[in-house]
């Protein structure tokens, strides 16, 4: 993959200077209008499609794009002092119904913070694990000291697969999980439904779905490569070109080249999906 990322988010960052307003018809009381100001670092992981989603999700940085992570990052936290999550001060002539709706918005926001934070955390973890497998050494059998080391990477491969399955499940169950969390906020039903709709529409679902399939293919291809290493241990030697081993048989050579090409191509496609999610 071309993208260099680390979990610290030092690569791409910035401040969105323009304020974004939620349409007035979001509310049951059309006199209510909350000016949601995006004063936080923009996450390069999801597009800004709705001002409300940006407030909730973009206040939590995901991936920077400076260099790949080499170690786990600390658990992200929600900044309760973020101006985007504060309610605006009530003007002197503001009706009571307006304040009530603003209080409901705050409860709805708090209800889903933990849910969105978990998606962020698990996506971040998955991305770092993919980084480990895309290192050039993983495609060079000479970088493994023994069959036991190959077996260790097979264990890490299994963990990568499990992490991907978890992320897929989080997206699959998001609709149901939002219902559960938002119900606890005890807000107006119509307001709650519009709030949920805004959240769901903010996710780039087509890209998420394509990324899911590509990562599943990537995991499958790496699994086959590790099995190939294990079964053909000792049948290769260091080639004349760095990172390109030479095998004792043309059959093994062809099998290796095919798997290697598949992994590189799939990795590049995964990178394109992450890039699309960041634009």
Q: What is the DSSP letter of 235?
A: S
Please tell me the predicted confidence (pLDDT) of residue 277.
80
Ranges under pLDDT 50 in the chain: 1-44, 46-92, 94, 97
Q: How far is CA 134 from the centre of its chain?
A: 17
pLDDT value for 129: 95
DSSP 15: B
Q: What integer pLDDT is reported at residue 85 of this predicted model? A: 38
Question: Residue 137: which of 156, 118, 123 has the closest Cα?
Answer: 156
Q: What was the pLDDT predicted at 276? A: 86
Residues with Cβ within 8 Å of 99's Cβ and at least 6 positions away in sequence, in order, are: 90
Burial (CB count within 10 angstroms: exposed 0-12, middle 13-18, buried 19+), residue 212? middle
Q: Residue ranges of the domains in the chain?
A: 19-278
Full DSSP string of 37-84: E--SBPPTTS----HHHHHHHTTS----SSS---SPPPPP---TT-GG
Q: Which candidate, 178, 61, 75, places its Cα nearest to that of 122?
A: 75
Could you tell me which of 260, 252, 258 has the C-alpha nearest to residue 233? 252
User: pTM (2 decimals)?
Assistant: 0.68
């Amino acid at each position: 993959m071309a993208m260099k990322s680390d979990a610290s988010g030092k690569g791409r960052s910035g401040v969105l200077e323009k304020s974004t307003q939620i349409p007035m018809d979001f509310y049951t009381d059309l006199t209510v209008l909350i000016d949601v100001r995006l004063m936080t670092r923009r996450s390069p992981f999801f597009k800004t499609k709705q001002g409300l989603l940006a407030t909730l999700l973009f206040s939590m940085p995901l991936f920077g794009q400076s260099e790949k992570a080499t170690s786990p990052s600390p658990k992200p936290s929600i900044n309760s002092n973020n101006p985007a999550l504060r309610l605006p001060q009530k003007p002197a002539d503001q009706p009571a119904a307006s304040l009530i709706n603003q209080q409901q918005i705050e409860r709805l926001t708090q209800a889903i913070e933990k849910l969105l934070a978990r998606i962020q955390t698990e996506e971040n973890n998955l991305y770092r694990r993919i980084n480990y497998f895309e290192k050039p050494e993983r495609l060079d059998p000479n970088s493994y000291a023994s069959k036991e080391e190959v077996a260790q990477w097979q264990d890490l491969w299994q963990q990568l697969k499990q992490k991907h399955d978890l992320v897929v499940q989080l997206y699959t169950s998001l609709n149901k999980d939002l219902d559960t969390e938002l119900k606890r906020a005890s807000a107006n039903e119509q307001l709650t439904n519009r709030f949920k709709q805004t959240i769901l529409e903010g996710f780039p679902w087509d890209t998420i779905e394509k990324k899911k399939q590509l990562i599943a293919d990537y995991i499958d291809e790496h699994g086959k490569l590790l099995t190939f290493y294990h079964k053909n241990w000792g049948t290769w030697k260091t080639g004349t070109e760095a990172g390109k081993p030479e095998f004792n048989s043309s059959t093994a050579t062809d099998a290796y080249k095919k798997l290697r090409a598949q992994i590189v191509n799939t990795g590049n496609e995964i990178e394109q999906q992450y890039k699309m999610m960041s634009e």
